[in-house]
Structure 1
Amino acid sequence: MKELFLIIGAPGSGKTTDASLIAKNDANVTHYSTGDLLRAEVANGSELGQKIDSFISKGDLVPLEVVVNTIVTALKNAPTKVVIIDGYPRSVEQMLEFDKVLGEQNEIELKGVIEVRVSEEVAKDRVLGRNRGADDNEEVFYNRMRVYTQPLNEILEFYQKKKLHFIIDGERAIEPIVNDMKILIEKIQKI
């Protein structure tokens, strides 16, 4: 059975960096991001990939069930028992559909949803200070924060009720955050 950990956090929280460092330093952990999974499926040329490409090439959003199907397929085929996905779910609809699909199968168990918590001020300083590209300006940052925070309480409540929500303080250096996350994942696996 695959053991799944979802890593969520605001833009600039470091969730992608944290998750990729854990996987890089532990051969027993695979890290995926949703966007990477969709792009890989398109590159694969599979029937699902062609379906995804038909939406992406027109600039349309990939339908919810297609995204969830892509994630579940990748999880089932992951080379390791432990899989981390960062930045998912992004909406209540994604969360509910993903929960429904996970409940209908017995190959993947959601073990934890780890929130990398940072203040809006820290997130803004990190995003605007990293000079990655055109999408890292103040207006875009506030829009991304709004998209992240709008469904957040409902998402957190849902996973808290299932006793799957855990918090990591993301306002520190990368090393202690990654170390704490690794320890937390190992601890949760034993539950």
Structure 2
Amino acid sequence: MKKLFLIIGAPGSGKTTDAERIAANRSDIAVHYSTGELLRSESASGSERGKLIESFTSKGQLVPLHIVVQTIIHAIAEAPKDVILIDGYPRSVEQMKELDSVLSMRDDVKLQSIIEVEVSEATAKDRVLGRARGSDDNEEVFKNRMHVYLEPLEEIEKFYANKNLLHKINGERGIDEIVADMQKYIESKI
């Protein structure tokens, strides 16, 4: 059975880097995906689902929720390892509910935990604006991304806490300390 860990956090929380490092440290058992990478990879594959995804993204439209979840579930099922780390998902209450609904009908994938990398808005802003990787790393875009992250957060936290699946990690520390803490927690759940 595949063991799924979802890693969420504000923009600049380090969630992607944390997940990448853990998957590299434990490449014997774990693999890491981000939702965007999964959609791009499926689109590039030329599969029927990939063509469908491309029909939305080529017009700048959002890929419908059920297609996103199907893509994630397909990637999990096909993953070469049994421990799967996915960062940046869910981003909305609708995404959370859709994934929960799909997972409840499967016996080959189990959601082990959702890990929230907690950072203050000030830290997130400093990190995002400090890295300035592209045109979307500016104050106005950061505020919007932060709002999009925070708006559904309380409901997402409550949902997973009620299922005893929510685990929070202090993301204000150094990367090595955060990764070690998160990796130890993941290993304790497998």
TM-score range, shorter chain: over 0.9
Q: State yes or no: 1:50 paired with 2:80.
A: no
Q: Distance in 2 between matches of 1:44 and 1:107?
A: 24
Q: Distance in 2 between matches of 1:149 and 1:87?
A: 13
Structure 1 equivalent of residue 171 of structure 2: 170
Structure 1 equivalent of residue 98 of structure 2: 97
Structure 1 equivalent of residue 117 of structure 2: 116
Structure 2 equivalent of residue 62 of structure 1: 63
Structure 1 equivalent of residue 182 of structure 2: 181
1:25 deviates by: 1.4
SS at match of 2:67: helix
Structure 1 equivalent of residue 161 of structure 2: 160
1:106 deviates by: 0.7
Matches within 5 A, 1:14-93: 14-27=14-27, 28-93=29-94
1:40 deviates by: 0.3
Supply the RMSD in Å over aligned alpha carbons: 0.5
1:155 deviates by: 0.3
Q: CA offsets per residue over residues 50-103 of structure 1, 9 Å max, x none?
A: 000000001110000000000000000000000000000000000000000000
Q: Distance in 2 between matches of 1:124 and 1:60?
A: 27
- TM-score (normalised: structure 1): 0.98
Supply the AA of the counterpart residue of 1:141. F
Supply the AA of the counterpart residue of 1:3. K
Q: CA offsets per residue over residues 122-158 of structure 1, 9 Å max, x none?
A: 0000000002011000000000000000000000000
Q: Distance in 2 between matches of 1:86 and 1:131?
A: 20
Q: Distance in 1 between matches of 2:128 and 2:26?
A: 27
Structure 2 equivalent of residue 10 of structure 1: 10
SS at match of 2:39: helix
Q: State yes or no: 1:137 paired with 2:131.
A: no
Q: Distance in 2 between matches of 1:87 and 1:181?
A: 16
- Provide the aligned length of Structure 1 versus Structure 2: 189
- TM-score (normalised: structure 2): 0.99
Structure 1: where are the runs of 5+ without partners?
none
Which consecutive aligned stretches of 4+ in structure 1 deviate over 6 angstroms post-superposition?
A: none
Q: Distance in 1 between matches of 2:47 and 2:111?
A: 26
Q: Distance in 2 between matches of 1:134 and 1:171?
A: 25
Q: Distance in 2 between matches of 1:126 and 1:172?
A: 13
